[in-house]
Structure 1
Amino acid sequence: MKQVILTGDRPTGRLHVGHYAGSLRERVKLQNSGSFDEIYIMIADAQALTDNAEHPEKVRQNIMQVALDYLSCGIDPEKSTIFIQSMVPQLTELSFYYMNLVTVSRLQRNPTVKSEIQMRNFEASIPVGFFCYPISQAADITAFGATAVPAGEDQMPMIEQCREIVHKFNAVYGETLTEPQIILPENASCCRLPGIDGKAKMSKSLGNCIYLSDEPKEIERKVMSMFTDPNHIKVSDPGRVEGNPVFLYLDAFCEPEDFSQFLPEYSSLQELKEHYQRGGLGDIKVKRFLSQVLQSRLQPIYQRRKEWEQRLPEVYEMLYQGSMAARERAEQTLEAVRHAMKIDYFTQSSLLQ
């Protein structure tokens, strides 16, 4: 069986360090591993429209921003097919068929859907398109025969629902669809970074993000404003590292060599944590170290983005060619689905059989 990756992001704005730590860094690693036959990376504009229907121009503008972030992070169009979701109409037809395999109560129980509805204040008026998000995502994944989906921990309920749809379809119509597995970041701290304000989730709408395209001075400003342990008032006070955003970010991004370069009085992150916990280490010093670490990690990404911004026609052509290739692959799955359901009516006179 071919080993295939499908992953992607909603173009609701520039991508941030949560995206990078949670999945982008892993995607680049997997892309370059040589372990996968095909890699599809989707800019999910149709899904973004489920809660931006009145502002499609925002989604349109952000498609190029996400593409630039992909390229600057190291996604290689020679190895990965980057495409725009709405340019692959087969995904819509697959979603339509899958809707008959999922109950309303099952969608209501999906933890990711419930949390997203709450975050967007949709409790009283949930758009149907948004409510059916897990079904649409299942269509995206199965259309390309994906065996693996690199994603953050918050996407686990969505992948599980996709697997349920695959099981149901194959049980009713015969073995047709491929069951995917989620690939989580190896570093557990990367699964879900909090916002710089300490909120549980980094979100563009909350304004608590550090973006991959932020300039070094902006990164420093945001890091120095980060929420820490509210009880760590004086330098001499013992501090808490569990749940402390500054230390969670260090867990996700800090490497052993960063200490010799930026903070030579410490030999490891564990030693830094222990000093903070017993008191005598101020937040400013830890934040300054985090700022240097982040700038070191993000500087190459920032530079590559500036280079790609001068080559926008090439980015546009890459998106077009990727979308056409994705459409061709999705059509193969759609034909197999229609055949399994016996609704390929005019294929080889099937109505006469």
Structure 2
Amino acid sequence: MFADRVLSGMRPTGSLHLGHYHGVLKNWLTLQQKYECLFFVADWHALTTHYDAPEIIEQNTWNMVIDWLAAGVDPSQATLFIQSKVPAHAELYLLLSMITPLGWLERVPTYKDQQEKLTEKDLSTYGFLGYPLLQSADILIYRANLVPVGEDQAPHLEFTREISRRFNHIFGKEPGFEEKASQAIKKLGSKKSRLYRELRNRYQEHGDENALAEARSLLEEQQSLNTGDRERLFGYLEGGGRIILSEPETLLTKASKMPGLDGQKMSKSYGNTIGLREDADSVRKKIRTMPTDPARIRRSDPGDPAKCPVWQFHLLYSPDEVRDWVQQGCTTAGIGCLECKQPVIESILAEQAPILERARMYEEDPALMRNIVADGCEKANRLAEETMRDVREALGLSYL
């Protein structure tokens, strides 16, 4: 329906680590080459679980944006902004709450999961219950049609699609819709008008999905249509009303293969992380003190790489010849554990080097980073307002 637009965000709840780099940021670097991308700091979302520690959010926000830029997120290719600096997120969240059944929020899988995991926090709050709807508002406000998520977040996207469909069903039947759609068809020109009607008939009478796809492509190519007419013709095509909020599609991302220092998934909650911008001496110390195969009590004891957390790092960082050297040396006790760890240390430090170099510029002159964010917030506000004009009109709130 719209040009491909990607939206993704991260909560500013602490320093980023290499798990974030391999699990999220490297994917962002690929996406920014292919699509229009909007990446945002989800500071309101941070408050849903960290409302008792708001003092950490501002500094975490600026540090995280530096991490993004240092990792290679390019402000000339992607828009970087802060959620709370675009008030329309909250306005759409409020308006969507008027039509959102309570049961829809309670059945989101992560609602009960997070309550069970974060038992030290009181999460029996309206904000925590409603955070999936705020996520939906984040997406729908920009009419983002592609959202990169892992499998565990896929239910949130389905929830957003349901909200979009419900909103369009309730509010898309504007007065005089048929007449307005007919007038919009004429703006296509005689040849394309005939083609649009033919494709619409083929889809509605015979369920021809190819005709539907062809008609959508036809509408996407039309530069002469304004946003309202385009939305009407998409809705008219499928036999409904005006499509005000578009349904996003899931861009499933692969689970991060970044292991933690103890062999579990790298996570702050496990205390097993290496920071994205951690200093070299600290990285060396952490890797050198990593646990290894328990069978290797003495240097002369053979081991099994599959039972050693260090091997997981070799799978991520080392070329085949180094892995072969590790396999041979470990199983025959030909190398010691410190020798095995040295290539991992070198690879991680090499990966961090350009990140640290890019970060230095923003650390020394924070105004550079703040100006990037200010420009991003301005663009995000402009895009959000385009959607809100249509939303307010549909709800009868577009007062003079």
TM-score class, shorter: 0.7 to 0.9
User: CA distance change for structure 1 residues 126 and 30 in 2, over 3 Å: closer, same or farther?
Assistant: same
Give the equivalent residue in structure 1 for 2:245: 177
Contact kept, 8 Å, 2:115 with 2:123, in 1: the verdict is no
User: CA distance change for structure 1 residues 87 and 195 in 2, over 3 Å: closer, same or farther?
Assistant: same
Please, which of 363, 383, 389 is the counterpart of residue 309 of structure 1? 363
Give the equivalent residue in structure 1 for 2:19: 18
Give the equivalent residue in structure 1 for 2:5: 4
User: CA distance change for structure 1 residues 123 and 303 in 2, over 3 Å: closer, same or farther?
Assistant: closer
Q: What CA distance in whole angstroms lies between the structure 2 residues aligned with 1:144 and 1:56?
A: 27
The alignment status of 1:210 with 2:264, answered yes or no, reads no
Give the equivalent residue in structure 2 for 1:28: 29
- Please list the CA deviations of residues 93-148 of structure 1 after superposition, one character each: whole Å capped at 9, or x if unmatched: 11123334444444344333333333321676433212322111111111111122
- Please list the CA deviations of residues 59-110 of structure 1 after superposition, one character each: whole Å capped at 9, or x if unmatched: 0111110111111111111111111100111001111233344444443443
Q: What CA distance in whole angstroms lies between the structure 1 residues aligned with 2:313 and 2:60?
A: 26
Contact kept, 8 Å, 1:170 with 1:177, in 2: the verdict is yes
Give the stretch that moved more between structures: 167-176 or 140-149: 167-176
Please, which of 319, 323, 332 is the counterpart of residue 373 of structure 2? 319
So what's the TM-score if we normalise by structure 2?
A: 0.72
Shift of 1:48: 0.9
Matches within 5 A, 1:61-72: 61-72=59-70
The alignment status of 1:195 with 2:260, answered yes or no, reads yes
Q: What CA distance in whole angstroms lies between the structure 1 residues aligned with 2:336 and 2:101?
A: 53
The alignment status of 1:284 with 2:338, answered yes or no, reads yes
- State the SS of the aligned residue for 1:217: helix
Letter in 2 for 1:20: Y
Gaps of 5+ in 2: 173-242
Q: What CA distance in whole angstroms lies between the structure 1 residues aligned with 2:396 and 2:251?
A: 34
The alignment status of 1:110 with 2:108, answered yes or no, reads yes
Matches within 5 A, 1:65-144: 65-121=63-119, 125-144=123-142
Contact kept, 8 Å, 1:153 with 1:191, in 2: the verdict is no
Shift of 1:276: 8.0
The percentage of counterpart residues that share the same residue type is: 31
Please, which of 269, 272, 283 is the counterpart of residue 219 of structure 1? 283
Q: What CA distance in whole angstroms lies between the structure 1 residues aligned with 2:248 and 2:290?
A: 37
Q: What CA distance in whole angstroms lies between the structure 1 residues aligned with 2:329 and 2:87?
A: 54
Contact kept, 8 Å, 1:240 with 1:276, in 2: the verdict is no
Shift of 1:209: 1.8
Shift of 1:58: 0.9
Q: What CA distance in whole angstroms lies between the structure 1 residues aligned with 2:384 and 2:65?
A: 21
Shift of 1:167: 3.1
User: CA distance change for structure 1 residues 58 and 105 in 2, over 3 Å: closer, same or farther?
Assistant: same
Letter in 2 for 1:287: K
Gaps of 5+ in 1: 257-265, 348-353
User: CA distance change for structure 1 residues 182 and 12 in 2, over 3 Å: closer, same or farther?
Assistant: same
- State the SS of the aligned residue for 1:150: strand
Aligned alpha-carbon RMSD (Å):
2.8
Q: What CA distance in whole angstroms lies between the structure 2 residues aligned with 1:53 and 1:124?
A: 10
Letter in 1 for 2:128: F
Give the equivalent residue in structure 1 for 2:207: none
Shift of 1:268: 5.7
Shift of 1:225: 3.3
- Please list the CA deviations of residues 290-344 of structure 1 after superposition, one character each: whole Å capped at 9, or x if unmatched: 222111111110111112211211211221221121111111112222333x333
Contact kept, 8 Å, 2:49 with 2:121, in 1: the verdict is no
The alignment status of 1:58 with 2:56, answered yes or no, reads yes
Give the equivalent residue in structure 2 for 1:343: 396
- State the SS of the aligned residue for 2:396: coil
Shift of 1:40: 0.8
Letter in 1 for 2:11: R
The structure whose Rg is larger is 2
